[in-house]
Amino acid sequence: MSQNSTGNLTEYYVKDDNISNKQEKYTYESLLLTAQYLLERISVKPQVGIICGSGMGCLADALDNRQEFPYETIPHFPVSTVDGHVGKLIFGNLSDVPVVCMQGRFHYYEGYPLWKCAMPVRVMKLIGVTHLIASNAAGGLNSDYKVGDIMIVRDHINMMGFAGNNPLQGPNDERFGPRFPPMNKAYNSHLIDQGKELAQKLGIQDCVHEGVYTCLGGPNFETVAELRMLKMLGADAVGMSTVHEVITARHCDMDVFAFSLITNICVIDYECHNKPNHEEVMDVGKMRQDVLKLFVKKLVEYISQK
């Protein structure tokens, strides 16, 4: 270990050639140090990890007994650079269940490799998280979807993986998980059923769907031809996150539930003059924040009783 002039990281800053500009992957030992840094400072050990998508940082605001860690103060953490992603790891209780929220995630288009984007998931595992709830803002491809709808993710299409870009690339450490993890049950079927049941109980069943999500690299929104192709392949919603986090979570045997907030309808007609933009993503997130907080709160309660 070596000293770092940035204050409270002095004790835990690690000089490690595997974490350098060569962008080699984090080691198990380096992430263990990150986890230890957090464990020594938190008062609750979280059972559930929640990743807040664009415009959905409000999910973290529902926590009681909050302890906040800006990303720049956590050893080895990247820094979020996108509007709507505050950049904090927040610990607390949601319905008396200990949870940790990522208020802001990391994206491939920010210049981070996928393994670095998904690294916080492994840290969650090392601090005791068993279940991951991942949310995202997405464009709706399914003609039945409307702005403000919620899509429970049943499955995904890993477009970046087709191009050979995967968060699990490189040497595999069995302490994280197996070399060839299956993904045919990436999203927990019991949690999917519970999510649909909760929608019924909350009276929002008409705006909650179940579908297939696909992730592209971004940061540009898609062309008409690209969206038409994705729809033909069976995608119901498209975004720029989540898939690599889910792959990493399943690799280390975490149960996963994911949902998309439909913030815009994808343009698949050349005669349509609508232009998707990040501002509408943020606006729809604010519009739906109350129902999203209640939905996630009830899901966390269910997980705690399993």
Higher pLDDT, 126 or 53: 126
Question: pLDDT digit string (tens) for 249-292?
Answer: 999 999 999 999 999 999 999 998 888 887 877 788 888 989 99
Whether residue 80 contacts residue 86, with contact meaning beta carbons closer than 8 Å, is answered with: yes
Positions annotated as catalytic residues are 54, 85, 107, 109-110, 137, 240-241, 264, 278
Give 86's pLDDT tier (boundaries 50, 70, 90): confident
Higher pLDDT, 244 or 16: 244
Q: What is the pLDDT of residue 23?
A: 54
Mean pLDDT within 80-105: 88
Sequence spans of domains, the chain: 28-305
The CATH code of the domain at 28-305 is 3.40.50.1580
Give 12's pLDDT tier (boundaries 50, 70, 90): very low
